């Protein structure tokens, strides 16, 4: 009865607002943008791995110097075109998906391609660095030293245009949302040029976006102009609040809060990883790119899947293995034997919904606590330099230890830490799952006895 009261209270006062947040259009669009960027971050990271292999295996240094080193500028163009332009990918995909969602749900004549292009248009307008001198707007120019500097207003480094990379993700997101909303406003108020039915669709769509493009350009230069005359620009303004969030993710308590929110939502039946991940993914991507350049962020790249939630949300790999071989109830035996292979690839929806863990008062506690334990060991191991920081992006389904080893540039201690975390999570899970297994077994015996009568 008490559990029912708690669940009812949370449904009324917490899960309702969080459920609404999950359905926000821009949240769904950001999730889509994060997913679309995964192939590029992984491919780009593989080029970084080539560069750090000699650090992991010093005996290969001679071979590397005689081969790969000669082609480093060539193959690193893959990294520059992926991680070096990640903000652009986010911006374009977000503009496309956001427009698509609005057009579908509101039944209005907006084309996703126009939304994507308008988003890119708005974003590119924010890239140049401008200043006001004696009442005149001028582009910033700084001497290039060691491959870095500002040329005609564009900040450049060895990896290309700085503001197109991970440092520009949040501005890219904001510009995409602004551009699409202005596009929506123009279409809703019929501020568009309509072409005769005989005109091809592609041409008609181009003219439909003409006035929205003018509107987007006007609004962005007004915003940028106001900020420039105030002695700053949108990149510097956005950096203030988001630098606070980034710093929060680099603290132990901050990471624990993220993990708690993800798993608390899960046990209430809401896909917590999707909701919270939409906000922390850009930060994690920016952090791992900064790590390669010398920073030391713990919460970077696929930190969560490498070390914290091995086996899926709740860090369930160890307990799934136990269930497959030691569970006594028929329900857990059958369930775990179908879920054990996906668990090695960090997929555990069969367990979350099959046990079930959702709304289960016995399994809620370990589901939330286990990843908080593994996050603690991982945070301090990386923070103290015992295990290498994440410098390469790995696919989130990478099997136990492999993602941790490669993602840290070949640190074998990272793989050992992942294995230790599986064991620690199992220790948290065991008493609760054992209790639940006994409960199910007792129920099955009662059901079997009643069927035999």
User: pLDDT per residue over 410-444, tens digit each?
Assistant: 899 999 999 999 999 999 999 999 999 998 999 88
Place of tokens 């010093």: 58
Higher pLDDT residue, 167 or 260? 260
| Pairwise CA distance, residues 29 & 177, whole Å | 10
In terms of Cα–Cα distance, which of 169, 11, 167 is closest to 91? 169
Query: Minimum mean pLDDT among 23-27, 133-137, 199-203, 357-361: which range?
Result: 199-203
| Pairwise CA distance, residues 290 & 233, whole Å | 22
User: Looking at residue 359, what DSSP letter applies?
Assistant: T
Q: Mean per-residue pLDDT for 94-119?
A: 95
Place of tokens 């007004």: 222
Residue 45 has pLDDT above 80, yes or no: no
In terms of Cα–Cα distance, which of 411, 416, 404 is closest to 302? 404
User: Looking at residue 160, what DSSP letter applies?
Assistant: E
- Write phi, then psi, for 82 (nearest 5 degrees): -110, -75
In terms of Cα–Cα distance, which of 64, 44, 45 is closest to 54? 64
Q: Tell me the CA distances in angstroms from 85 to 110, 163, 289, 365, one per residue in order.
A: 26, 8, 12, 41
Number of neighbouring beta carbons within 10 Å of residue 214? 13
User: Looking at residue 155, what DSSP letter applies?
Assistant: E
Query: pLDDT tens for residues 245-284?
Result: 677 788 999 999 999 988 988 887 667 777 787 778 888 8
Q: Cβ(123)–Cβ(176) under 8 Å? A: yes
Most confident segment among 82-91, 186-195, 244-253, 383-392: 383-392
Q: Cβ(16)–Cβ(10) under 8 Å? A: no
Half-sphere exposure (Cβ direction) of 373: Cα atoms closer than 13 Å: 20
| Pairwise CA distance, residues 259 & 280, whole Å | 11
Query: What residue segments make up the domains of the chain, in order of their start?
Result: 2-23+242-448, 85-232
pTM: 0.75
- The helix-helix angle for 317-326 and 412-452 (nearest 10°) equals 40
3-state secondary structure of 81: helix
| Pairwise CA distance, residues 341 & 399, whole Å | 10
Residue 2: pLDDT band with limits 50, 70, 90 = very low
Buried b (16+ CB within 10 A) or exposed e, 299-318: bbbbbbbbbbbbbbbbbbbb
Query: pLDDT tens for residues 209-235?
Result: 889 999 999 999 999 999 999 999 998
> What sections of 209-344 are H helices per DSSP?
210-229, 234-249, 252-267, 272-292, 303, 317-326, 330-343
Q: Cβ(329)–Cβ(384) under 8 Å? A: no
Query: Minimum mean pLDDT among 63-72, 99-108, 234-243, 415-424: which range?
Result: 234-243
Non-local (6+) Cβ contacts of 179 within 8 A are 95, 115, 118, 119, 121, 122, 216
Residue 390: pLDDT band with limits 50, 70, 90 = very high
Number of neighbouring beta carbons within 10 Å of residue 285? 25
Query: pLDDT tens for residues 367-387?
Result: 999 999 999 999 999 999 999
For 150, the enclosing helix (H) or strand (E) is strand 148-151
Residue 51 has pLDDT above 50, yes or no: yes
Output the average pLDDT for the chain.
85
Residue 20 has pLDDT above 70, yes or no: no
Higher pLDDT residue, 237 or 27? 237
């Amino acid at each position: 009865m008490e559990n029912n009261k708690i669940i009812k209270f949370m449904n009324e006062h917490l899960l309702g607002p969080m459920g609404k947040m999950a359905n926000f259009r821009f949240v769904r669009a950001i999730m889509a943008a994060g997913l679309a960027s995964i192939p590029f971050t992984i491919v780009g990271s593989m080029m970084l791995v080539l560069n750090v292999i000699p650090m992991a295996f010093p005996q290969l240094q001679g071979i590397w110097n005689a081969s790969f080193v000669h082609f480093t500028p060539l193959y690193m163009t893959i990294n520059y075109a992926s991680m070096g332009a990640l903000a652009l990918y986010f911006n374009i995909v977000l503009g496309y998906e956001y427009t698509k969602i609005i057009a579908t749900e509101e039944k209005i004549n907006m084309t996703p391609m126009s939304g994507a292009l308008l988003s890119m248009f708005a974003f590119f307008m924010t890239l140049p660095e401008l200043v006001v001198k004696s009442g005149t707007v001028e582009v910033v120019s700084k001497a290039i030293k060691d491959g870095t500097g500002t040329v005609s207003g564009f900040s450049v480094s060895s990896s290309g245009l700085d503001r197109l990379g991970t440092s520009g993700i949040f501005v890219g997101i904001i510009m995409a949302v602004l551009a699409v909303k202005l596009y929506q406003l123009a279409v809703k108020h019929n501020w568009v040029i309509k072409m005769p039915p005989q005109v091809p669709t592609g041409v008609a769509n181009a003219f439909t976006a003409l006035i929205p493009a003018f509107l987007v350009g006007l609004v962005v230069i007004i915003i940028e102009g106001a900020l420039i005359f105030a002695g700053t620009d949108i990149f510097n303004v956005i950096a203030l609040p988001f630098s606070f969030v980034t710093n929060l993710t680099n603290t132990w308590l901050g990471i624990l809060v993220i993990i708690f929110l993800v798993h608390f939502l899960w046990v209430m039946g809401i896909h917590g990883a999707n909701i919270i991940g939409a906000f922390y993914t850009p930060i994690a991507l920016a952090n791992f790119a900064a790590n390669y350049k010398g920073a030391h962020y713990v919460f970077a790249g696929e930190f969560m899947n490498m070390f914290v939630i091995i086996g899926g949300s709740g860090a369930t790999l160890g307990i799934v293995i136990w269930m497959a071989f030691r569970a006594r109830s028929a329900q857990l035996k059958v369930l775990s034997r179908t879920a054990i292979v996906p668990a090695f690839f960090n997929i555990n929806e069969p367990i979350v919904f099959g046990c079930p863990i959702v709304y289960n008062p016995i399994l809620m506690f370990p589901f939330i606590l286990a990843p908080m334990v593994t996050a603690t060991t991982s945070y301090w191991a990386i923070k103290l330099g015992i295990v290498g920081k994440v410098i390469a992006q790995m696919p989130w389904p990478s099997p136990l230890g492999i993602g941790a080893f490669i993602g840290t540039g070949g640190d074998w201690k990272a793989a050992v830490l992942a294995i230790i975390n599986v064991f620690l999570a199992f220790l948290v899970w065991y008493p609760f799952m054992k209790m639940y297994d006994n409960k199910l077994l007792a129920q099955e015996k009662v059901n079997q006895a009643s069927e035999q009568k």
